[in-house]
Amino acid sequence: MLYTLVGCFCVLMLTGYPIPRFDPKDRIVEVVCPMDSTCHFYESPRDSVPLRSLTRTEPYGLFAEPLWVTGAMRDEYGQLFLVCVGAMQVRRQAYRHLLTTEEEAGTTVYRYEVMVEEDSDSTLWLDHDDAVIRIMPWPEFLCGCLITADLTSNAPRAAPDEGASTMGIDPGLAENWAELEAVGWHCNWLAVRPVSPATEDAAFDRAWIRWVEDDSLLVDYSLMY
């Protein structure tokens, strides 16, 4: 059974770049992969033997083999994020010697299809294992990033509604894209507070801005936070 979870992928270098494709229904996969554990990637959803694997050898360090994952968002702390483009419920093959875990053959598992190469749009599949990966919607992902937004065209408002009153904007925030911290979300809106300049000089300590409109991302982001 196929569930459409997401589309699109993006490479984010340490300073952040605009994403090449975007769909607001996307889900982000964080590869948690605790120390000394391994995340297996399969070529097809029904494979029993992984094609690739990632192993974390340090508690908050980079993975041992990250270079083949060119379509990934990474930060300086070793976190790895992938964009999922689909999911499938599959039954494990009955070849005991091919299984990479102790799970019984014939059990049903969920696998997610994720983008691993940007240029070729190549995808691989991984198991839905709460100990290894975490699935989140785009706005939750943005709440862990440093957000920049044009507050002249995306005015901060007192509530997550187009009819809500607009908040005052400090000239320093209006002249350039403002640096913001997202602290929550509601539908197409992010609750934000200024990071620079200082909150007391920003004319508001918390406001709402749109993060998406007509399938277009209205904010930029960086994992350097």
- Could you report the per-residue pLDDT of 47-65, keeping only the tens digit for each? 888 999 888 777 666 666 5
**Is 53 in the same domain as 129?**
yes
Mean pLDDT value across the chain: 76
- The confidence band for 103, taking pLDDT boundaries of 50, 70 and 90, is low
Average pLDDT over residues 12-24: 42
Q: How far apart are CA 103 and CA 64, in angstroms?
A: 25
Structure-token match 């494709």, residue found: 21
Q: Are residues 189 and 118 in the same domain?
A: no
Residues 134 and 179 in one domain: no
Q: Do residue 84 and residue 170 come from a single domain?
A: no
Tally of structural domains, the chain: 2
> Is the model's pLDDT at 129 over the cut of 70?
yes
Torsion of CA 88, 213, 20, 130, to 10 degrees: -30
147 and 132 in a single domain? The answer is: no
Q: Is the pLDDT of residue 12 over 50?
A: no
Place of tokens 């609750």: 191
Dist. CA 86–CA 170, nearest whole Å = 42
Statement to judge: residues 37 and 50 lie in one domain: yes
Residues 156 and 116 in one domain: no
Q: Cα separation of 150 and 154, whole Å?
A: 6
85 & 151 share domain: no
Return the pLDDT at 151: 86
Per-residue pLDDT of 162-191, as tens digits, reads 999 988 776 655 555 778 999 999 999 999
* Closest CA relative to residue 75, chosen from 163, 33, 126, 14: 14
State the pTM of this model.
0.75
Owning domain of residue 199: 143-222
Q: What is the dihedral angle through the alpha carbons of 179, 180, 181, 185, rounded to the nearest 10 degrees?
A: -140
Looking at residue 23, its pLDDT comes to 64
